[in-house]
Amino acid sequence: MEKRPELDILLCAPRGFCAGVDRAIQIVELALEKYGAPVYVRHAIVHNKYVVDGLRDKGAVFVEELSEIPETDAPVVFSAHGVPKSVPADAKSRNMFFLDATCPLVSKVHVEAQRHHAEGHEIVLIGHKGHPEVVGTMGQLPPGSISLIETVEDAQAFVPRDPANLAFVTQTTLSVDDTREIVEALKLRFPAINGPHKEDICYATTNRQEAIKAVAPEVDAMIVVGSPNSSNSLRLVEVAERAGCTNAVLVDRASEIDWSRYEGIRSLGVSAGASAPEKLVDEVIEAFAQRFAIKVEARVTARENIAFNIPRELRTIEAAVSR
């Protein structure tokens, strides 16, 4: 039998599901358990194909807009990314029963934006155009209240109505380093700009990026498990490249691995975006075990023990399920 080449796998920790994703998936699963199928979900509950397909198989029906949902008593769940204020207002006008799975850390940004607006500040949102979280945050306030800034160049070109009366908030899943550069560019031009009391980029995004930074310089290649529409997963690939691992890629499943990239490597880093289940990480490691004699070592850079409460309507069923 041909001898398999040796491969050291450094497994980044933390990786995978964060508390907000865990809560959102639980909300859909508990709603299905309590109310039965169908449970309608506005937008992908989290940005992971495997998770969405699994919930669809259990009876979740995914739509992009409430207008796609027929007259129904079935629950409607809003995704973890948050929604504009017009969405719950529309749901109420149609007497829909809805459950809000918005991540509490995204809700915190919504509250900040509303506070700044109430105080009369012009608001800048650092984020990616078209991302549902950005659409949801901008939709908390009247049109024109928030200006989107995506890059340092945007920050340098931005012309506010009143430079002395500005505030900024950020998307929760950005690159920590990119965001720092944009904030610095804004502060250089507008020293009086008001920022968040505490970092808007969520703990999970930050922790996963820090873990990648610790591992990337030590490995020949890096795989991030996650879907291509997942902002935080895409950022992990960029962070790996910047930290010195140029052979860094995002894969949704082990079946997508391009094996030509791994010929002759001796070490591999593995991480997963905040919406990718651990089962898919195990799949990737198993695929490498078929071709290499692997040795796996966990590289732990932080511990996470955060959990978020689920909506009151589902707590009785949650208690029954966990018994």
Rounded Cα distance, 235 and 227, in Å? 12
Task: For residue range 235-265, list pLDDT tens digits in order.
Answer: 999 999 999 999 999 999 999 999 999 999 9
Looking at residue 1, its pLDDT comes to 59
Can you point out the beta strands (E) in the chain?
A: 6-13, 39-42, 60-63, 76-78, 98-100, 122-126, 146-149, 166-170, 221-225, 248-251, 267-272, 293-300
Could you give the CA distance from residue 174 to residue 235 in angstroms, rounded to a whole number? 7
Q: At what angle do helices 231-242 and 203-215 cross, to 10 degrees?
A: 30
pLDDT in tens, 204-229: 999 999 999 999 999 999 999 999 99
The label of the residue with tokens 């969520």 reads 202
- The values of phi and psi at residue 184, to 5°, are -60, -40
Query: What does pTM read for this prediction?
Result: 0.93
Mean pLDDT of the residues in the chain: 95
What is the tens place of the pLDDT at every residue in 126-139? 999 999 999 999 99
CB 76 within 8 A of CB 35: no
Render pLDDT for 56-68 as a digit per residue (tens, 0 to 9): 999 999 999 999 9
**In which region does residue 207 sit, left (phi positive, over 0), alpha (psi from -120 to 50) or beta (all else)?**
alpha
List the catalytic residues.
133
pLDDT (0 to 100) of residue 322: 56
- What tens digit of pLDDT does each residue of 67-85 get? 999 999 999 999 999 999 9
Looking at residue 185, its pLDDT comes to 97
Where does the pLDDT of residue 320 fall: very low under 50, low under 70, confident under 90, or very high at 90 and above?
low
Residue 287, both tokens = 């695929």
Q: Report the C-alpha gap between 284 and 222 in whole angstroms.
A: 12
The span from the CA of 142 to the CA of 183, in Å, is 24
Q: Is the pLDDT of residue 234 over 90?
A: yes
The dihedral built from the CA positions of residue 277, 279, 282 and 283, taken in this order, carries a sign that is: negative
User: CB neighbours (10 Å) of residue 90?
Assistant: 16
**Least trusted range by pLDDT, from 20-29, 177-186, 308-317:** 308-317
pLDDT surpassing 80 at residue 143: yes
Give residue 208's identity as a one-letter amino acid code: R
Q: Give the chain's domains with CATH numbers.
A: 6-17+203-300 (3.40.1010.20), 19-103 (3.40.50.11270), 105-189 (3.40.1010.20)
Q: Is the pLDDT at 141 greater than 70, yes or no?
A: yes
Confidence of residue 315 (pLDDT cuts 50, 70, 90): confident
Q: Angle at which helices 176-189 and 203-215 pack, to 10 degrees?
A: 110
| 221 SS3 class | strand
Q: What is the three-state SS of 38-95?
A: CEEEECCCCCCHHHHHHHHHHCEEEECCHHHCCCCCCCEEECCCCCCCHHHHHHHHCC
